Chain A
Amino acid sequence: MGALLAAAGLEAFYGPTRVLRGLDFSLQEGSITTLLGANGAGKTTTLRALCGMIRTRGEIRFDGERIDRRGTEDIVRLGIAHVPDGRGTFLHLSTEENLRLGGYARKDRRAVAGDIERMYEYFPRLRERRRQQAGTLSGGEQQMLAIARALMLKPRLLLLDEPSFGLAPLVVGQIFDIMRTVNQKERVAILLVEQNATMALELADQAYLLETGRIVISGGADDIRRNNTVRRSYLGY
């Protein structure tokens, strides 16, 4: 079986500065993969590179098709939903308008209303807030909204950039439960960037460890959890 997403020799640049120095990685349909690494290792940059938000070199294939020369809008339309760092909420629009926008690029527009209902079943809190301006939602609610908005695309791959950032531990637990549910029920593959390595490795099937723009360790999540370097540097025991 071919990989859903595969990057080969992926480099990325901010201006003239090379931030990713040739990444090779792949992930399978329906799997959960996590990218770990310290601040500045290039995790967020990798997600941005996949979506064509910055200048890249190298090859990215989604479902066998080259996407590295395409615009963000077109990549998204292939079924890659990206929850960016900072969540990318449309703060001045209502919760429901945010969800409607999530389904904007879909061809089956009629199904969008039904899917909004489905999102409210996953996230009952969002139903209570449906008419409220998204900017007035709490951090946890906004993160739920961001995930729900991404799911409205009916993506095959969900890119999540630090969904636990700035949230209370209890809420982080909820968000991780939701990711697990979504992965199983919607059969959507997840590429998760996380600071919280312990939780990310519990959730993921596969993991990559980034250090200053390079992949230094890769493998099954369980193996990586037992890896001594990772344990000392990122898991703290």
Chain B
Amino acid sequence: MSVFWDQVFAGLVSGCVYASVALALVMIYQATHLVNFAQGEMAMFSTYLAWSLINAGLPYWLAFALTVLVSFGGGVVIERVVIRPVESAPLLSIVVVFIGLLVIFNSLAGWIYTYTIKSFPSPFPSQPLFGIAHVSPHGVGAIGVTLVVLVLLYAFFRFTPLGLAMRAAAQNPQSARLVGIRVGWMLALGWGLAAAVGAVAGMMVAPIVYLDPNMMSGVLLYAFAGALLGGIDSPGGAVIGGFIVGVLENLVGAYLVGNDLKLSVALVLIVGVLIVRPAGLFGKAIVTRV
């Protein structure tokens, strides 16, 4: 039985990373109806940035805060410089731009930091908590940090005028303009927030999977599965979906298919959700009249 709970806990820890990345995907999806395939690689690059800062001697949390800030700025700049010019281009062109970003960030990280796997520090103590061998303090810390980020984001979108304006701009850009909201900037802010959330996810997962330019490729797939499962247009659903996928992945890996086939869980989930319930658990089905 204890093995089972170990797996559930490990699942929740990866789940919080999937949940964060899933949330980042949903934030951009809601505004643009596109999935940013480069989200994972952007997060990976942010994590390398944190690694550089920590290696340069900065205290962990200062490096953490700086990384989040710089990632936010980077997200805004990417939207303004790269995405904005292709805003009204056909769908496929934008998807190609996303894939281009993915490859660029991946290669850039490899070029600057080499493909050698690096260890990434955890800010949390290394002794097991509560005397239970598998409940790592880093895991508990990662879940805690993720929950704090989620609560902050929720409060921002729910209670601040800017958060409300961003939701309005995503839902109905034309009406948003008519009440004086600068819709273009709201999109850029969304990219910034998504990049910042991704950076947190990257820093939380790096101590577990180690730092290398490909560390987020699997994560992105699981996060996408989580977002789809929860409903790609529902932020709360994406978070819950992320956690579900994390736990499922670990349980299925431990009891059914073994570690090597774990990633296929994500694919099966994606295909399954799309066949059975395309709107996801918490999403709204969109009906289009033709």
Contacts and interface: CB of A to CB of B under 8 A. Distances in A.
Contacts of A149: 179
Contacts, number: 61
A105 B174 CA distance: 15
A104 B181 contact: yes
Contacts of A76: 177-180
Interface of B: 161, 164-165, 167-168, 171-172, 174-183
A71 B172 CA distance: 17
Interface stretch (A31-39, A56-64, A89-97): A89-97
Contacts of A109: 161
19 contacts: A71-B177, A72-B177, A76-B177, A81-B178, A82-B178, A88-B174, A90-B168, A90-B172, A91-B171, A93-B164, A100-B164, A101-B165, A101-B176, A104-B164, A104-B181, A105-B181, A109-B161, A149-B179, A153-B180
B168 A73 contact: no
Contacts of B176: 101
Contact of A101 (B174, B179, B182): B179
Q: Which of A51, A84, A92 has the most CB of B within 10 A?
A: A92
Given A100-B161, A101-B165, A104-B161, A90 B175 contact: yes
A120 B179 CA distance: 19
Given A88-B172, A100-B161, A73 B167 contact: no
A101 B181 contact: yes
B174 A84 contact: yes
B262 to A, nearest CB: 36
B175 A73 contact: no
Q: Binding site of B, secondary structure by majority: helix, strand, loop or mixed?
A: helix
Given A73-B181, A76-B180, A153-B180, A104 B165 contact: yes
A163 B180 CA distance: 21
B178 A72 contact: yes
Contact of B175 (A84, A97, A100, A105): A84
A104 B172 contact: no
A213 interface: no
A104 B180 contact: yes
Given A88-B174, A104-B161, 20 more contacts: A51-B178, A53-B174, A53-B177, A71-B177, A73-B183, A76-B178, A76-B179, A77-B180, A82-B178, A88-B175, A91-B172, A93-B164, A93-B168, A101-B164, A101-B165, A101-B168, A101-B176, A101-B181, A104-B180, A105-B179
A102 interface: yes
The 6 A-B residue pairs whose C-beta atoms are closest, nearest first, are A105-B180, A88-B175, A76-B180, A72-B177, A77-B180, A82-B178
B164 A153 contact: no
Nearest to A82: B178
A53 B167 CA distance: 21
Interface string A134-157: 000000000000000100010000
A153 B178 CA distance: 10
A186 B176 CA distance: 23
Q: Which of B168, B172, B178, B183 has the most CB of A within 10 A?
A: B178
